[in-house]
Amino acid sequence: MMRAVLLACLAVGLFTPGAPAQPPEKSRPSADKIVALLQSAKISYEKDLQTTPFKEVLEDMARRYNITFVTNNAVLGDMANTLDTLKAEKLSVTSLNDLLLGTFLDVYFRGLAAESLTYLVRSDHIEITTRVAAQKEAGFLEAIDEAKASGDKAEVVRAKARLSLPLVCLAVRERAFSTVLNDLSATYGLNIVVEPNSPTSSKTVLTERLLNVPADTALELLAGQVGMKVVRKGNTFRMTSNGQGAQ
């Protein structure tokens, strides 16, 4: 409850009160609709991303897709004061077109001068926060601490390797398993391989809702619904019915 109140108070952190970029609260899309936009809406953005201020880019996204962006100033601290003029100076291109909205945001945020900035999908808005805060919420940092406490060096390496995984969002109802995997792969750049002759076919349907979940955890949950397991090999996730080849 306190977190909800805090975020509500921070809603003006990025957009000024009454600005057209911030939809009225009653019209805010649900998390399911936000996820659907991230995985289906194609971006065509005409402005130079290397020179257009961060605030302006997000205001444009808010107007086009009726999404509210909220800055978590309590987490951002002094960084919140620089958001108005922050630019994607590290991008190697000036525009990102024909990308899914989720892919666009991921690439754009990585190109910002402030590398520690990221976003999370909430119940009716997208929260702007830090990577450390997002990683802590996802359990990455706790897993690293536990691995260190165990004294297992290999486990520490595996726990740290998870820091590179994206946090994925998913909201599907009776959708084909293969389609769900394809959407995750396209939106988050995941390499997903389903073993040949798998008993799971395109007729297998899933109903699931996940927000800001580590990619490996999300795939394990999905695979579990169809009686499969996930084996990670480097940057590739293999769906298997028997778990052979586990690292």
Residue with the two structure tokens 């978590």: 72
Selection from 173, 162, 178, 176 nearest residue 217 by Cα: 162
Residue with the two structure tokens 């390499």: 191
Residues 83 and 171 in one domain: no
- 54 exposure class (CB count in 10 Å sphere: 0-12, 13-18, 19+): buried
Token pair recorded at residue 43? 């971006």
Please indicate, yes or no, if residue 105 is contained in any of the structural domains: yes
Residues 36 and 117 in one domain: yes
Distance CA 87, CA 25 (A): 28
Distance CA 202, CA 177 (A): 6
Mean pLDDT, range 176-188, rounded to an integer = 91
Residue 115 has pLDDT above 80, yes or no: no
Q: Give the count of beta carbons closer than 10 Å to the beta carbon of residue 77.
A: 10
Which phi and psi angles does 162 have, rounded to 5°?
-70, -20
Range of the domain at 232: 166-240
Which residue, 108, 133, 158, sits at the end of a domain? 133
- What pLDDT does 234 receive? 86
Residue 14 has pLDDT above 80, yes or no: no
Question: Could you give the count of Cα atoms lying within 13 Å of 66 in the half-sphere of its Cβ?
Answer: 12
Please indicate, yes or no, if residue 123 is contained in any of the structural domains: yes
CA quadruple 30, 46, 40, 197: dihedral sign: negative
Distance CA 100, CA 106 (A): 10
Please indicate, yes or no, if residue 142 is contained in any of the structural domains: no
Cβ-Cβ contacts under 8 Å for 22 (sequence gap 6 or more): 11, 15, 62, 68, 69
Q: Which of the residue ranges 2-11, 47-56, 198-207 would you say has the lowest mean pLDDT? A: 2-11
Residues 53 and 96 in one domain: yes
Q: Which of 4-8, 26-30, 140-144 has the highest mean pLDDT?
A: 140-144
Tell me the whole-structure pTM to 2 decimals: 0.82
Selection from 99, 88, 100, 36 nearest residue 67 by Cα: 36
Question: Could you give the count of Cα atoms lying within 13 Å of 25 in the half-sphere of its Cβ?
Answer: 5
Which residue, 133, 150, 176, sits at the end of a domain? 133
Using pLDDT thresholds of 50, 70 and 90, give the confidence band for residue 242. low
Residues 126 and 41 in one domain: yes
Residues 8 and 92 in one domain: yes
Secondary structure of 148-200 as H, E, C letters: HHHCCHHHHHHHHHHHHCCEEEEEEEEEEHHHHHHHHHHHHCCEEEECCCCCC
- What pLDDT does 66 receive? 94
Mean pLDDT, range 40-57, rounded to an integer = 94
Mean pLDDT, range 177-202, rounded to an integer = 84
Q: CATH number for the domain including 182? A: 3.55.50.30
Residues 112 and 170 in one domain: no
Residues 109 and 53 in one domain: yes
Cβ-Cβ contacts under 8 Å for 113 (sequence gap 6 or more): 86, 87, 88, 89, 90
Q: CATH number for the domain including 114? A: 3.55.50
Please indicate, yes or no, if residue 225 is contained in any of the structural domains: yes
Residues 111 and 37 in one domain: yes
Residues 118 and 234 in one domain: no
Number of domains in the chain: 2
- What pLDDT does 195 receive? 83
- What pLDDT does 139 receive? 96
